[in-house]
Structure 1
Amino acid sequence: MPSPAPVVSVHPLTLPAPGRGDDLRVRVSAPVTGNDLPVVVFSHGFSQSATAYEPLAAFWAAHGFVVVQPTHLDSAELGVPADDPRTPLIWRFRIEDLERCLDGLERLEASVPGLAGRVDRSRIAVAGHSWGAQTASTLLGARVLDADGVPGEDMSDPRVKAGVLLAVTGTGGTDLSPFAAEHFPFMSPDFEKLTTPALVVAGDKDDSPLSVRGPDWFTDAFRLSPGATDLLTLFGAEHSLGGIVGLGHKENTDESPERVALIQRLTCAYLRHALGLADAAWPVPVESTLGVLESK
């Protein structure tokens, strides 16, 4: 892993988004040095924004990535009401947001001082946490089942070469709690076509009210897809996985700088490996008291 570099972060940048109701706000972080920089487009969890997940965005950027973070319509910053006509389709708007970031990479690159000409657009990954992980998974090949259990359209993107799925929601149907089945019918992924290489990160204490299954629900993408070949299970971790939204954040229930440091190091190593960087090393050691790394 390269030595960390100083980082420049620009926010908000905007991308035109006809039909969305609001132009897309984006944050871009990048190292001030280096060339041929790979890209990570990151999808935040419910109600968060482009300025969250600083522990990941700053670390990845300092270690050689351009990190692109859109603010989705469900962000608390935007205040879209529950009765807004866009609300039932926010899950689709989220996917379109990631696509807009990919389509707008040249514009974003030109908007960050000193970044133009230093980005390798042939090496692109997507990542996300919670709902953001499900959003990111569709670009890797996962599909959404309809009410009859039929897979929806293929929304994978050939520009995306790898993914990191943090606390990604599992299968739907009878695995959902009654509340989730009523309010989140789109939370019914089919992982059979997720063929793009991906790392799944799950907490063994992440007992979500959205599922009746327990923490193993968050490992479905690894168990059921051909592309997600690696799984990091964190011991004692709940849904915030130690505090990846930001240490000291009000939503942290299991704050652990040690867990966050492990996720930083391991996800960075995985992304460098999956994107084919010459100096990448994978797998990497995991301290036995923090978690276990499985590969298939």
Structure 2
Amino acid sequence: MGWRRITAISLAAVLVAGGAVALGFFATHAPASVATALPGATPDPGSPATHTPGDRPTPTDAARPAPTASPTPIALVPRFDKAARSHDDPTSIWVVVDKDRPLQPADYTPPDLVTVPVPHVWEPQLRREASDAVVALFAAFTAETGLKLQSQSSYRSYPTQVAVYNDDVSAHGQAVADTSTARPGTSEHQTGLAIDISALPASCSLDACFGATPQGTWLAHNAWKYGFLLRYPEDKVAVTGYAYEPWHFRYIGVDLATEMHTDGVTTLEEFFGLPAAPTYH
């Protein structure tokens, strides 16, 4: 073997040995992402390099965004249906009768009149539903106050209203009569839904001072609970066309009476958006 051959073999051995040393040093000191790619290197289980392509890590629950809560639906309160009953049909308990809205027909007679079993001046008749409400109203008043009420006047037929109106005209003249007594065919009493109430024993009967009596005060504050409306308030003469009558109550049903009380509206004309009726046309 010549020197040249020995030298070449020795040099090759040195290069191989040196490369192994260098490779070992690089594997020891290089970053894990690189070192693990080297031949013979042991992968680091915690290193991202251990994941194969397409094998993405699953995010933890903490990393996931919290689901957005669905908004709570707003409960809609149904509006009071002002057209649920007729304002024109005389058989409707919501019929509006005033100087501009006469009954149709003018000589209308209610179909279900009954005698109201309460104390009275003149024997009272009303439509059955209104009669039952009056009985409950009178009983509640006596239970709460220990006092008593009586019916002064209730249903009046067309012929009776003719006589009542003519008597008022004869006594006070038509101009005055028209502020206190309805002309025939325009009276709420003819509907069988209106009642004039007085104290028992009598005190301020059919007089404005009735409003200041215990009976008048209680009725003004509580009649709505039984479906009644104080039909001719003191401050609404320009709307109703009649002077203050704290004794005159009109049955309209508990639902409508409650709605009007809640809204603070005191006349049927205003509540239903009808024209005021201060005079006859």
Q: TM-score range by the shorter chain?
A: under 0.3
Q: TM-score, normalised by structure 1?
A: 0.27
Looking at CA atoms only, which structure, 1 or 2, has the larger radius of gyration? 2
Larger strand percent: 1
Larger helix percent: 2
